[in-house]
Every structure is written in C-alpha cells, then in structure tokens.
Amino acid sequence: MTKNLKQLFWNWRGIWIAAPIVTVVVILLRWGGLLESLEWSIFDQYLRLRPSEFVDQRIAIVGLDEADMEYIGQGYVPDKIYARLIQELAKMQPRAIGLDIYRDLPYQPGHEQLIQVFESTENLVGIEKVIGDNNRETVKPPPILKQNGRATANDLMVDKDNTIRRAFLMINTPEGETVYSLGLYLAMLYLSAEGIGPQVVPDTENWWQFGEVVFVPFEANDGGYIRADAGDYQVLLNYRNQPQPFDTVSVRDILEKKVSPDWAKDRIILIGSVGESFQDLFSTPYTLSADQRLSGVEIHAHITSQILSAALDNRPLIKTVSEPIEWLFILFWSGVGATLTWTLRLTGKLKQFLVKQISFSLITLSFLLGSTYLAFIQGWWLPVIPPFLGLIGSTIAIIAYIARSAGDIRKTFGRYLTDEIVASLLEHPDGLKLGGERRKITILTSDLRGFTALSERLQPEEVVRILNFYLSKMADVITAYQGTIDEFMGDGILVLFGAPNLRENDAQRAVACAVAMQLAMEQVNQQLEEWGLSALEMGIGINTGEVVVGNLGSEKRTKYGVVGSQVNLTYRIESYTTGGQIIISEPTLQAAGETIIQVENQKLVQPKGVKRPIKIYEISGIDGEYHLYLEKEAEEYLTLPKSIPLQYTILEGKHVSKTLYQGWIQEMSKHGALIRVEATDQTLPDALTNIKINLISDTAELTEDVYAKVLDQPMIEKQFYIRFTAKPPAVQAKLNEIYHSYQTS
C-alpha cells in the first residue's frame, strides 16, 4: 500500500508541487491588492453581459435638465418651483416621493410655500449628506423633514477607480445616529403598502431582511475587494441591465401636465438633477465613455429597485463566498492547469504539445469564464482573475519543472531514442535495466527506391538535407500514430508498434501509419521539386510476429531495440515492394482485421531464409476509424514505333550478377516499361526481381545505370513488365521526352 502511494505521488509529483505553490503565490498577489482592479473589470463586464431586464415600472424619475432651466428662466430653481412640482406629483397619489436635491436654504423665494408642502406631503422624503467633514462636506436636510424623521442620506460609495459598485443602506453618524439611505427609505415606504416590513435577522449584528431575503452586509474582502472600506451598512449594488431601466420625464413635463393624471399612481417618484451642468454624474460598471455616466438620482433609483426586486420578485442579490472557499476555488483551477500540462508532457513534438496545450487551455479558460458567468447570473460573484492566474501559473510551473528536471535528458537521449522510450526511461527507472522480453508486436520498415543511386550524384550536404527533410516528415506521421522509431538506417526506417507500450490496435495503427506515410510523400516531393530534384518513391513492408524487445548491449553501451527472425522477415517483405506500394504479411492482415483492410492483390512468395512460402498482400487503404486510402494512378503503356535497345543484369541481394541479357523497351508508361528479350531460349526474370538496366544509345554507348523491379504481372512470351526504381536525371529526362512525345502524338 505504501509503495503504491509513493508511486502515485511520484507519477503525479508535478501536480502535488505546482498547484499548491502557485495557489499560495496567487493568494499573496491578491492579498497585496494587485488583482483588485482586474477583478473589478471582470465584475463590470459580467454586469454588462447579463440578459436584459424589464423596465421597473414601480419607479419613475423626474429629471431636472438644462432645458428645464431655460423653461424656468433663472440660474437656479426657486423653492416655489419645487413646491409646485411636489404638489402636482402628490395629486397623482404616488407611494413615495424622494427629493434628491439639497434644500437647506431658508431664504430662497417661495421657501415658506415649500415648507408647507414638506409638512403636508407625508410620503415625501428629503436628503442630507452625512459622510465627510462637518464644515465642508456634509449638507444638512430641511429641518422640518428632519423633525418628522423623513431625512435620508444620499451618500454614495465610490471605489478607488471612481466607479460606484456598492450602496449604503444605513449610515451611522459620529453622534451615534443611524440615518437610512434614500433608496432604503423609499423602498420601505413602498413595501409597507405591500405588508412587508424590515426584520432584524436573529443572531446577527443587526442584519436586515425583507420577506425571505436577507441583506448581508458587505465585508472588506468580499468578491474582488481587498481591505475595502466596509463601514456602516453596505451591499453590492445590483444594477438593472437595461439602457433605460426607469420611466423618466422632465420637470417641465410635470409642471405643464404633459403626463397622464395617474402617471405617478402607486409609484416611487425620485426628483433629481440629470443634466451635465449640475455635476452630479458618476461612473458605474456600465460607463464606457463620459456620456454613459449616471446621475445620482438614477443610482438611487437602482438602489431602490434592487431592494424592491429582491423582496417582491426574488431577483437575486449579488453574493460572495467566504475566503477559504475562494482559496479552494483557486487551488482547484491551479490543479486543473497542472494536471492538463502534466498529462500532456509526454507529447513528442513541440508543435503538437503547443497545439494541444493551447487548445486545452482555451477550452479550460472558456469553462472557467462560462461557469463563473453562469454563477454571476444566479447572483454569485466568484473570483475569476485569481483562478485564471492559477490555471496559467501552474501550467507555466509544470513546463518549467519538466524543462529543468528532464529537458537536458530528453534533449540528449531524444537524438537516439523516441520520445516514448525516453519518457518510459524517465518515468520508470527500472526501464534502464538490461534485458528483454518476448512479445508479439507489429513491425514496419520503409525504404526509398533508388536513393542510394541518387545520393552518389549529389554533394553530401545536399544528401543530408534531403534525408533530414524526408525523415522529419515521416517521423511526424509515425509519432501521430504512436509508433516507436527504433532506428533510422540511411533512408530506411524501422518502426515498432507494440513496444515499449503494447496496445490492442497496434496492427491497425501500423497499417494506417503506412498509408499516411505514403500520402505524406506528396509533400516531400513537392519540396524536392522546389529544390530542382527528382521525385522519390517509397516502399513499405509490415509484419506481425513474436520478437524480443528491450535494452540490448552492456552497462557502457545500451540500445533499446528488437531482435528476432520476424524482423528479418519484415525486411524481406519490404524488398518485394515497388515505389508507392505497401505490402503486409498474413499475420498483420489478421491482427488488423480483414474487414477494414483494402487488399489490392495477394501473392505467395518464398523469402530467403524462410522454409515455407508465405502470403503477402498489397493494400491500398484502411477503413474503420482511419479512412485513409491511396490513389492508384493507372499506368498507360504506349507502344514505341522504335524500340529502345538495352542490356540488363539481375540483382541478387546487393550483388550484381555477371550475366548480361539483351532486350528492347517495347512499350513505355510514366513509371515503367514492357521489355522484350532477344533470344528465344532466354529465361525471363522472376516476378519481384530487381534488375539493373543500361540503355544503348544510337552511338552504341551505354547510359548510366537504371534500376527497376520486375512486376508481378502475367508474362507474355519473351516479354515482361518492369517498374523503374531509380533513374539518373539524364536518362529520366530522355525517357520522359520520348513518353510525352508519343503520348501527345
């Protein structure tokens, strides 16, 4: 049990280390206030992105603007105008009237008339400014309203970025007096008519509730705030998401009776200045430009609406979770980032790793933003920037950890072993021990046709450039199909499917990989064409059988490899291929599934060193989940009016026979030819035999060596088909010229 736990910890060590450390760092950054403004920005954006809401018909605003001042015809509004305005509104029987204008000016014209209106209008509420220096910043309310208990505070809480996101419900003066906010008082008057009054929540420090809704006081570290001023009774302000959330008319509309007589009936009416010149405009989360600021009276309308909507409509308040839960939330997302990156660490290619990492990170980030946004719609303000930093930070930490602990090792050994083998050695130290195990695997080997002859005509640097480009493309394909590159042998590749890791679909992946490799040759040849070089062709052989795989060698020199007769048989199978062909053995066909493999043809052959003949299959594609197919180009053979003389000799392995045979090219295609032999008693070469050809020019001189393979096609008397495997550029140009000239004639 202890061993298993240790192994579990070791296997996931990056997560156990990175996630907690990154979480602590993010919490410290947050506690230092460095993330506060970013959290406010996300809060504001989420408010703006919420679905639109209905206009709150319970509240209306009478706004004093510049046009009203022209209508009044004075530089200020006399008290008699306010008196008349309130009288007109009172006739409409509103539930409450809030005058959000300071009126502690006893010598205004019509002041006595206004005092009488204050006394007679019992549902009228006035304002005072409570917070600030008593000599400079506070403003007293009208004395008559103060005496009648109808003076409220219109103070607003402005954050450090000059944006209003919080609202006062009550403010305590230095003298110990509790003053209700304008919004709270108006809401209480309205709710009183609905039979709902405020209640103090038991076992709390004077928390209030209306109906079933508790107004939890704001605390210094709620949401994205850090050590904010949480004095008095504050709540987060849940603005209504609507361009015009309240019915608004001008003062002159009321004075000229342009609204219906019942316009204000059973409504809360707020009176206040809304024009630019009154300098009573504030930034809110919806303010993206100066002309989108809200007047103070509009903000108080939002506060009033928030209370009414929560008590009557079950509209959620904005709630926050406790700090320990926020820490766990950050830890969770740090763990997600660490887990994703740690899981992807075995991805071989940097490009693949980056693509997967970026893709998964974007998906995870989308989920983070989506989940927190949905929670916000339900009234929960969850941190976004801290978990985002945890997600990114843990990702970077894991990458740095891997780079530091395994980067140098991978860089060194990755030149000699596949990434999967290197990862196996790093993750499982026992994998370094010498020895092997018997295992049934699928082996793939590939070889370029005529590359040796081509390399003899090029500079070494050019050969290396071609070879590196070709092997790079093939390695990308092999890695995509989880093949293990055992070794590069010049232009040949030996690939294992089933070592070091055995999978159920090894044979299928090997066949799919072979088809994908042949398809990738198009990109290789496009690049060769840009370099002014001839196209290359590749043959692939695949075999499935029992071999020994493991670490071979000594303590000083070790190689992860594979040995056994099945490896040699795979090479023999590959030798039967021509350019563009894939030939597999019968065990591979059975292991991959005959129903999904597209077999072009089959043949019984007797490879060297094998006691009995075996069946081999040329394939052209694979169905199932892969859907990969080769496009076979039909060979168009053209009869030449004048045969091309040649001499050829048979290749036995790597050796050239000394026996020369005479013949002529009778027909020609793009990739092959039909050869007629000279003597009637001459034996034709066997199918799939490799031959070396020298064309005879008009001057009886022999051209450079041309290599070809005898095709497995029915042989006409003294004639056989070949497919060229290597042609010198001069010979290729000459043959192409002849072929195209007869093709167009």
Beta carbons of 144 and 121 less than 8 angstroms apart = no
Tell which wins on pLDDT, 488 or 248. Answer: 248
SS3 label, residue 695: strand
Confidence band, pLDDT 50/70/90 cuts, at residue 619: very high
Q: How confident is the model at residue 415, as a pLDDT?
A: 46
CA-closest candidate to residue 588, choices 504, 514, 508, 499? 508
Q: Quick one: angle between helices 385-413 and 419-427, nearest 10?
A: 100
Q: Give this prediction's pTM.
A: 0.59
Query: Once rounded to an integer, what is the mean pLDDT over residues 41-68?
Result: 94
Pick the CATH number of 432-629 from 2.40.50.140, 3.30.70.1230, 3.40.50.2020, 3.40.50.720: 3.30.70.1230
Confidence band, pLDDT 50/70/90 cuts, at residue 416: very low
Q: Are strands 435-449 and 319-320 parallel, antiparallel or unpaired?
A: unpaired
Average of per-residue pLDDT values in the chain? 87
Q: How confident is the model at residue 714, as a pLDDT?
A: 73
Beta-carbon contacts of residue 741 (< 8 Å; ≥ 6 apart): none
Query: Once rounded to an integer, what is the mean pLDDT over residues 296-302?
Result: 96
Beta carbons of 19 and 335 less than 8 angstroms apart = yes
Q: How confident is the model at residue 8, as a pLDDT?
A: 61
Nearest 5°: CA angle at 345, between 465 and 406? 75
Percent of the chain whose predicted confidence (pLDDT) is above 90: 51
What pLDDT digit, counting tens, does each position of 422-478 carry?
Answer: 665 555 545 445 556 888 999 999 998 877 766 777 788 888 898 899 998 999 999
Beta-carbon contacts of residue 349 (< 8 Å; ≥ 6 apart): 476, 479
At the topology level, CATH places domain 638-744 in Thrombin, subunit H (2.40.10)
CA-closest candidate to residue 240, choices 395, 53, 85? 53
DSSP state of 181: B
The structural domains of the chain, with segments of one domain joined by +, span 2-32+321-413, 49-319, 432-629, 638-744
Query: Once rounded to an integer, what is the mean pLDDT over residues 249-262?
Result: 94
d(CA 691, CA 705): 10
What pLDDT digit, counting tens, does each position of 224-239 carry?
Answer: 999 999 999 999 999 9
Q: How confident is the model at residue 558, as a pLDDT?
A: 62
Exposure on the CB side of residue 134, measured as CA atoms within 13 A:
3
Query: Once rounded to an integer, what is the mean pLDDT over residues 538-561?
Result: 80
- Tokens representing residue 38 in the block: 């970013």
CA-closest candidate to residue 540, choices 504, 590, 497? 497
Strand partners, 128: 153
d(CA 723, CA 633): 13
Beta carbons of 138 and 132 less than 8 angstroms apart = yes
Query: Once rounded to an integer, what is the mean pLDDT over residues 536-547?
Result: 93
Asked if pLDDT for residue 344 goes beyond 80, the answer is: no
Query: Once rounded to an integer, what is the mean pLDDT over residues 291-296?
Result: 92
Residue 367 CB: number of other CB atoms within 10 A?
12
d(CA 379, CA 384): 15
Q: How confident is the model at residue 657, as a pLDDT?
A: 82
Q: How confident is the model at residue 529, as a pLDDT?
A: 87
CA-closest candidate to residue 642, choices 745, 742, 744? 742
Asked if pLDDT for residue 417 goes beyond 70, the answer is: no
Site of tokens 């090219």: 665
CA-closest candidate to residue 447, choices 512, 495, 500, 508? 495
What is the dihedral angle through the alpha carbons of 499, 502, 504, 508, rounded to the nearest 10 degrees? -10
What pLDDT digit, counting tens, does each position of 191-211 carry?
Answer: 999 999 999 998 888 899 998
- Tokens representing residue 546 in the block: 């029992």
Tell which wins on pLDDT, 344 or 268. Answer: 268
CA-closest candidate to residue 619, choices 608, 606, 628? 628
From 27-31, 93-97, 271-275, 654-658, the region with the lowest mean pLDDT: 654-658
Q: How confident is the model at residue 428, as a pLDDT?
A: 55
